[in-house]
């Protein structure tokens, strides 16, 4: 089965969040099921060295007015199809979407409509003889791919995956023709969204099937509280929607072999985790005391992640002698609120504003628990890294957090199944209670060690979920074959 992934991010090359982790890991898991997956990505400067070792497989002619081509290259265990269009992607700046000043590039609609057009041209012309059986588009940046396939009456089916419905890719309706869109599709059942063009909606209505990254988020997406205006569109396609929970790359995220931590460990050598804890405390200028848990946060600092609630819950955390190490970047008011907390509570709260992959590994290895008070969370990956590293997740009961963490309440403890702490509703008092409950669990050191070991043994890899994607792809292909028979 030949699958074309199309996405705007892919770890380890270019990453702003979990989308990159998924696009970097899932193809390898699918390959072990026999799939031939190629990943189409814009050729950003971060991929220039990879492209240097590749070769042209398709001349795309003019794309958004200038020449473009696809370059095939292999790196990090992935087969890449790099979309070389320097006028769109060869730019200095803050990652894939932002100018050096941190604003969205004004031509993001053109930049990612081009990605969609390149998908359709590849499906039509092939890449040096490679023709995909199915296109799997990730998030709004790739979602015009399925639309353009439909617009061209292609028989190649597609799947659009929603990683986060908060990002929809809206563009001014007047841009439509210049993006390559036939404006006959600009209506409520097409890509029109409250008077604008929505890239994500285009993918959702044009794809053969839709998926998202956890079963609970799949249900939530059909509700007005979570669907962000697309709940009706998604509910109308409820029968075509699947929720498949994300896995993690268990080779990159392996506490037994992690090169970014001072003392590699496993479930049977937990005393070594204490050395990572000491290193983490030192790095953040925190007291190394073991009387209370050391919590960590590794996150985009945005409203989605609920970290404003944590600011207000800090007195409860500090009142129990616990400590917090936070790594994140995002909204200016949250950045400054956490920096202010660190200044007023030296030794108890440590904050690093920025993006630091290696430090995130040390934090997962050294902290006792990871706090994730998200208002919504399609899947979430940091709780899965937490489980793998025996750093107990303390999570809001929403989306993928609800699906991947088992609350260590009395019944779960009696049954020997808890792996973390969940709370609901997502409010400051409920978060405070969850923090206090975590401190109580931590105080029983034998119980805590048992919880930690159990967390580390949870299956968080891609095996099961990759098998589910294979079944989904097979279903899509069989339905397509029946329809054309
Ligand atoms: P989202 O994609 O919504 O940001 P996820 O939990 O799915 O949330 O994925 C976030 C990914 O980004 C994880 O791999 C996490 O470790 C990483 N991450 C987030 N913020 C930072 C940061 N400041 N430094 C390093 N890694 C980060
Ligand atoms: C999005 C979501 C996150 C999910 C990630 C990968 O960024 O916010 O919950 O884990 O995509 O699917």
For 294-310, the pLDDT digits (tens) are 999 999 999 999 999 99
Say how far residue 384 (Cα) sits from the centre of its chain. Answer: 12
Instruction: Give the closest ligand to the alpha carbon of residue 381.
Output: 1
Long-range CB contacts (within 8 A, 24+) of 232-240: 233/201, 233/204, 233/205, 234/162, 234/165, 234/204, 234/210, 237/204, 237/205, 237/210, 240/208, 240/209, 240/210
For 349-400, the pLDDT digits (tens) are 999 999 999 999 999 999 999 999 999 999 999 999 999 999 999 999 999 9
Q: Are residues 170 and 277 in the same domain?
A: no
426 near 226, Cβ under 8 Å?
Answer: no
Does position 469 have pLDDT exceeding 90, yes or no? yes
Does position 67 have pLDDT exceeding 80, yes or no? yes
Ligand 1 atom at minimum distance from 327 CA: 23
Q: Is residue 229 part of a domain?
A: yes
Q: Is residue 89 part of a domain?
A: yes
Q: Is residue 259 part of a domain?
A: no
Q: Is residue 260 part of a domain?
A: no
pLDDT band at 481 (very low <50, low <70, confident <90, very high): confident
Q: How far apart are CA 398 and CA 149, in angstroms?
A: 34
pLDDT of residue 482: 82
pLDDT of residue 321: 97
Q: Are residues 25 and 119 in the same domain?
A: yes
Does position 21 have pLDDT exceeding 80, yes or no? yes
Q: How far apart are CA 58 and CA 71, in angstroms?
A: 7
Nearest CA to ligand 2 atom 12: 163
Please choose from 246, 301, 372 the residue to mutate so as to test ligand 2's pocket, defined by most ligand atoms within 8 A of CB: 246
Residue 385 Cα to ligand 2 midpoint, Å, equals: 14
Q: Are residues 383 and 300 in the same domain?
A: yes
Q: Are residues 275 and 219 in the same domain?
A: no
Percent of the chain at pLDDT exceeding 70: 100
* Coil/strand/helix, residue 481: helix
167 near 198, Cβ under 8 Å?
Answer: no
pLDDT of residue 173: 98
Query: Which residue's structure tokens are 């390898």?
Result: 28
**Which of 87-101, 136-150, 253-267 is the least confident region?**
87-101
Paired tokens of 110: 């053109």
pLDDT of residue 168: 97
Paired tokens of 98: 């932002």
Nearest CA to ligand 1 atom 4: 17
Ligand 1 atom at minimum distance from 377 CA: 3
DSSP state for residue 105 in the 8-state scheme? P
pLDDT of residue 81: 98
Does position 94 have pLDDT exceeding 90, yes or no? no
Residue 211 contacts by C-beta under 8 Å, 6 or more apart in sequence?
Answer: 159, 160, 161, 162, 218, 241, 242, 243, 244, 469, 472
456 near 273, Cβ under 8 Å?
Answer: no
Q: Are residues 180 and 232 in the same domain?
A: yes
Q: Are residues 292 and 186 in the same domain?
A: no
Q: Are residues 205 and 301 in the same domain?
A: no
* Coil/strand/helix, residue 71: strand
Ligand 2 atom at minimum distance from 21 CA: 6
Residue 223 Cα to ligand 2 midpoint, Å, equals: 18
For 428-448, the pLDDT digits (tens) are 999 999 999 999 999 999 999
Q: Is residue 262 part of a domain?
A: no
**Which of 278-292, 365-379, 408-422, 471-485 is the least confident region?**
471-485
Q: Are residues 231 and 287 in the same domain?
A: no
Q: Is residue 447 part of a domain?
A: yes
Q: Are residues 112 and 195 in the same domain?
A: yes
For 229-279, the pLDDT digits (tens) are 999 999 999 999 999 999 999 999 999 999 999 999 999 999 999 999 999
Q: Is residue 258 part of a domain?
A: no
Q: Are residues 238 and 291 in the same domain?
A: no
Q: Is residue 254 part of a domain?
A: no
Across the beta sheet with 170-171, what order do the strands follow?
170-171, 196-198, 192-193
Give the pTM.
0.97
Give the number of other Cβ atoms within 10 Å of residue 296's Cβ: 27
Q: What is the mean pLDDT of the chain?
A: 97
Domain that holds residue 271: 267-457
Q: What is the CATH number of the domain that holds 345?
A: 3.40.50.2000
Does position 484 have pLDDT exceeding 90, yes or no? no
Ligand 1 atom at minimum distance from 246 CA: 7
Q: Are residues 442 and 477 in the same domain?
A: no
pLDDT of residue 93: 76
Instruction: Name the residue among 406, 403, 322, 335 with its Cα closest to residue 369.
Output: 322
Residue 398 Cα to ligand 2 midpoint, Å, equals: 13
Count: domains in the chain: 2
Nearest CA to ligand 2 atom 5: 18
Q: Are residues 49 and 144 in the same domain?
A: yes
Backbone φ, ψ for residue 456 (5° rounding): -65, -20
pLDDT of residue 457: 96
Query: Which residue's structure tokens are 């061209």?
Result: 152
Does position 461 have pLDDT exceeding 80, yes or no? yes
């Amino acid at each position: 089965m030949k699958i074309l992934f199309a996405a705007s991010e892919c770890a380890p090359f270019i990453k702003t969040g979990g989308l990159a982790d998924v696009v970097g890991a899932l193809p390898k898991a699918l390959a072990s099921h026999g799939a031939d997956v190629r990943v189409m990505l814009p050729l950003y400067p971060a991929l220039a060295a990879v492209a240097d070792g590749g070769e042209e497989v398709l001349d795309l002619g003019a794309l958004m007015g200038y020449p473009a081509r696809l370059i095939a290259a292999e790196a990090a265990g992935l087969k890449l199809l790099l979309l070389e269009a320097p006028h769109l992607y060869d730019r200095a700046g803050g990652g894939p979407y932002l100018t050096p000043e941190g604003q969205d590039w004004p031509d993001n609609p053109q930049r990612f409509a081009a990605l969609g057009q390149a998908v359709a041209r590849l499906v039509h012309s092939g890449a040096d003889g490679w023709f995909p059986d199915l296109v799997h588009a990730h998030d709004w940046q790739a979602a015009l791919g399925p639309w353009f396939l439909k617009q061209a009456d292609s028989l190649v089916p597609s799947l659009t995956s929603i990683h986060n419905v908060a990002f929809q890719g809206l563009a001014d309706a007047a841009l439509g023709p210049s993006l390559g869109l036939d404006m006959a599709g600009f209506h409520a059942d097409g890509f029109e969204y409250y008077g604008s063009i929505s890239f994500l909606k285009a993918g959702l209505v044009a794809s053969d099937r839709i998926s998202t990254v956890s079963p609970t988020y799949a249900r939530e997406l059909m509700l007005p509280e979570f669907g962000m205006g697309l709940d009706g569109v998604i509910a109308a396609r409820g029968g075509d929607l699947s929720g498949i929970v994300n896995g993690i790359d268990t080779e990159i995220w392996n506490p037994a072999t992690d090169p970014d931590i001072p003392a590699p460990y496993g479930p049977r050598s937990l005393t070594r985790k204490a050395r990572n804890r000491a290193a983490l405390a030192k790095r953040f200028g925190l007291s190394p005391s073991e009387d209370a848990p050391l919590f960590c946060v590794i996150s985009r600092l945005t409203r989605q992640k609920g970290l404003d609630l944590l600011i207000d819950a800090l007195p409860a955390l500090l009142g129990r002698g616990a400590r917090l190490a936070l790594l994140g970047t995002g909204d200016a008011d949250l950045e400054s609120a956490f920096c202010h907390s660190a200044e007023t509570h030296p030794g108890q709260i440590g904050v690093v504003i920025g993006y630091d992959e290696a430090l995130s590994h040390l934090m997962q290895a050294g902290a006792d628990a990871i706090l994730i008070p998200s208002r919504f969370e399609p899947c979430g990956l940091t709780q899965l890294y937490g489980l793998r590293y025996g750093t107990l997740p303390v999570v809001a009961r929403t989306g993928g957090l609800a699906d991947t963490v088992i609350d260590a309440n009395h019944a779960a403890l009696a049954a020997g199944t808890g792996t973390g702490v969940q709370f609901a509703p997502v409010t400051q008092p409920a978060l405070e209670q969850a923090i206090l409950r975590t401190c109580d669990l931590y105080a029983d050191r034998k119980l805590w060690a048992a919880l930690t070991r159990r967390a580390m043994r949870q299956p968080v890899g891609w095996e099961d979920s990759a098998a589910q994607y294979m079944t989904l792809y097979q279903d899509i292909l069989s339905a397509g074959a029946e329809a054309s028979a």
